[in-house]
Amino acid sequence: MIKETIGAIALIVENIPKQLTERPQWVCWRLEERDDKETKVPYTPGTLRRASSTDLMTWRTFSEALGAYGRSEPPYDGIGYAFCSADPFVGIDLDKCRDPEDWEITEWAQKIIDRVQEG
């Protein structure tokens, strides 16, 4: 099992759906300060060039993103999937959805998760 720890967040490769890893829509990201708060800024894997959520030419394969992240050259804080209009997938981003003390999913976030899982 590949498990990388990023602060309190662990990247567990086995938890990433195979259907996503087969698509060349991956970026690396770095935490950077913007407007007095940290944000994940996407980069083209293996480069210092910022990636774009709308430009597929800045995305790479899962293997390329994971390899660049693992080598830390340049240093990245994680990897991410870039959704596009051609995807059969949907993503939901729930910021601050975990309790900062015990990392349990908050009640409001769990309601959203449950609703999505119901279909």
For the chain, domain boundaries:
3-88, 90-119
Tens-digit pLDDT string for the chain (119 aa): 344 444 435 678 888 999 999 999 999 999 999 999 889 999 999 999 999 999 999 999 999 999 999 998 789 999 999 999 999 998 888 988 998 888 899 999 999 999 988 87
pLDDT digits (tens, 9 = 90+) for 28-56: 999 999 999 889 999 999 999 999 999 99
Whether the CA torsion 12, 19, 63, 60 is positive or negative: it is negative
At residue 39's C-alpha, the angle toward residues 36 and 43, to 5°, is 135
| pTM for this model (two decimals) | 0.80
Helix (H, G, I), strand (E, B) or coil at 35: coil
Sequence-ordered strand ranges (E) for the chain? 3-6, 9-12, 26-34, 37-43, 78-81
